[in-house]
Amino acid sequence: MTTASTLAFALPLAWAWDIAFGEPRNALHPVAWLGRLLGPIGGRLVRCSAHVAFVGGMAVWLALAVVIGWAAESWQHASTAWPWWLAVPALALVLKPMFAWRMLHEEVAAVNVALDHGLDAARTRLSRIVSRDVSTLDAAMVRETAIETLAENLNDSVVAPLLWYAVFGLPGAAVYRLANTADAMWGYRGRFEWAGKWAARADDLLSWLPARLTGWMLYPPKTVTAWRNLRAQACKTPSPNGGWPMGAMALRLGVCLRKPGVYALNEAASPPGAPEFKRALLAARRSAWMAAAAATLVWWLRA
């Protein structure tokens, strides 16, 4: 069985495992292992001078990228030499933690369900998936924040790792997961300004194309004017990438998505209600399945 064939079969199996079982326990999750490694290293780097912190953060990121890429390539190469009935599940087993569609969908959907039990319950549920302060959010802003998180993480947790899997196989997905995890832990201003600068820029670079593809899948512009409108919405956010899926979702639903004092996407529209929330979940679901199908098709065509 060729490498391309194995990769083509492995993704549908990994996707099926994600739908059926969701995420592995932290004790068995490679991304959780990576987080436990990056945490203490970052804690040391932020105590260094700006120059040392930047160089150290860059060196750690590059070293981990080489090690993780090499390990993923070695596993991919070794597994493709095995019988197909062993090679496919072996590759799928390692690929599955590189993306997280079921968990994203369930966590965001739970916010809408929690609103039926009161605002405090919804805020508590929302705090599990966002880092911002949610204590003062009203019901409309709880929905807005959850929909923004769904759109942005559709790229980070699904489309981007699948795109890099389609391009480079398992090493592509694994190195992207490193980039996104390092950015999530180190890519902040303030005390991590210099230690996390390389991680933040690496994530920006690797997420650039996937973010725009995610925006296109959520809101396929039918005219040049529609594309320009999407681009204009995307430029309103501080992130060079996050605005594309969030702006696309705002336009797709015909709602305004805001982060007070930072941005307002599709500002003239009304805030989302429960029906728009359900439509957001449906749009994200369709885009996620589209991304998985496209990545699988790429490897089928190579086989």
Q: Give me the number of domains the chain comprises.
A: 1
The tens digit of pLDDT for each residue in 10-21 reads 999 999 999 999
The tens digit of pLDDT for each residue in 34-44 reads 999 999 999 99
How much is the pTM? 0.96
Token pair 């690797």 is at which residue? 206
Burial of 39 (0-12, 13-18, 19+ CB in 10 A): exposed
- Residue 268 belongs to what domain range? 3-302
The tens digit of pLDDT for each residue in 154-176 reads 999 999 999 999 999 999 999 99
Is residue 1's pLDDT more than 80? no
At residue 303, the pLDDT reads 86
CA–CA dist 198, 280 (Å, integer): 33
The tens digit of pLDDT for each residue in 182-226 reads 999 999 888 899 999 999 999 999 999 999 999 999 999 989 999
CA–CA dist 99, 24 (Å, integer): 11
What is the pLDDT of the chain when averaged over all its residues? Answer: 96
CA nearest neighbour of 226 among 190, 234, 35: 234
Q: Confirm if 54 and 122 have CB atoms less than 8 A apart.
A: no
Write the CB contacts of 192 (distance below 8 Å, at least 6 apart in sequence): 42, 46, 186
